[in-house]
Chains A and B, each alone.
Chain A
Amino acid sequence: GENVEQHPSTLSVQEGDSAVIKCTYSDSASNYFPWYKQELGKGPQLIIDIRSNVGEKKDQRIAVTLNKTAKHFSLHITETQPEDSAVYFCAAGLMEYGNKLVFGAGTILRVKS
């Protein structure tokens, strides 16, 4: 089955700097890669997603890149702000197979002001 590894487990950046979180997946059939942000005591919130027919997607300060050959994808946050501090999860899934997502273990992002 699918296995997703996420790095780093914690990341501290200065306000205004960029943050990058990387994930690798094992099943080359996976075709859907969402990223979620989770604040304390809340459910995960979808922040961006990408499908395997696209190499890069951007939404304001957030971007995701996908390298299908290497089976890894990354989240890029530019101009970080204190409100970006949260736990971020990547996931991989095959939509045709019920969209069963396998999640990474999460990255705690701290933005210091």
Chain B
Amino acid sequence: DGGITQSPKYLFRKEGQNVTLSCEQNLNHDAMYWYRQDPGQGLRLIYYSQIVNDFQKGDIAEGYSVSREKKESFPLTVTSAQKNPTAFYLCASSMDRFKPQHFGDGTRLSIL
């Protein structure tokens, strides 16, 4: 089955720790995106990548980092610099920037 897999589904972080959220797609999509969703709010773009080895900051990139070493993978690291990391994180991909974005089922990150 083709799709976008995010893992883990739930993640807990201690203060001062970095954590990495996984996003893998087997759709052969060029573009991948990371969004953050807070309760009662819309999705906000953290980072996006249109092609391997290239990525750009979105609207709320501070405290986050990404890499795009492989076409199918776009991991997001939430660093200790992110002061309010508790949120629902969603990864999306699209064939290219002219095609619709499709989402994974998210990772819920909480602070212990």
> Which residues of A approach B to under 8 Å, CB–CB?
1, 4, 6, 34, 36, 41-46, 49, 89, 91, 95-96, 98-106
Per-position 1/0 for B32-44, Cβ under 8 A of A: 0001000011111
Interface of B (DSSP majority class): strand
Query: Which of the candidate stretches B13-21, B66-74, B75-83, B92-100 sits at the interface with the other chain?
Result: B92-100
> Which residues of B approach A to under 8 Å, CB–CB?
4, 6, 31, 35, 40-45, 48, 50, 56, 58-59, 90, 92, 94, 97-98, 100-106
Q: List 29 contacting pairs A-B, 8 Å CB cutoff, sorted by A.
A: A34-B101, A42-B105, A42-B106, A43-B4, A43-B92, A43-B104, A44-B90, A46-B100, A46-B102, A89-B42, A91-B42, A98-B50, A98-B56, A98-B97, A99-B31, A99-B94, A99-B97, A99-B98, A100-B45, A100-B48, A100-B59, A102-B42, A102-B45, A103-B35, A103-B44, A104-B42, A105-B40, A106-B40, A106-B42
Q: How many A-B residue pairs have CB under 8 A?
A: 64
Q: Given known contacts A1-B59, A42-B106, is B98 in contact with A103 (CB within 8 Å)?
A: no
Chain A residue numbers with a CB within 8 Å of B59 are 1, 100, 102
CB closest residue in chain A, given B108: A41
Chain A residue numbers with a CB within 8 Å of B102 are 46
A43 pairs with B40, CB closer than 8 A: no
Q: A95: which of B35, B97, B104 is its contact (CB, 8 Å)?
A: B97
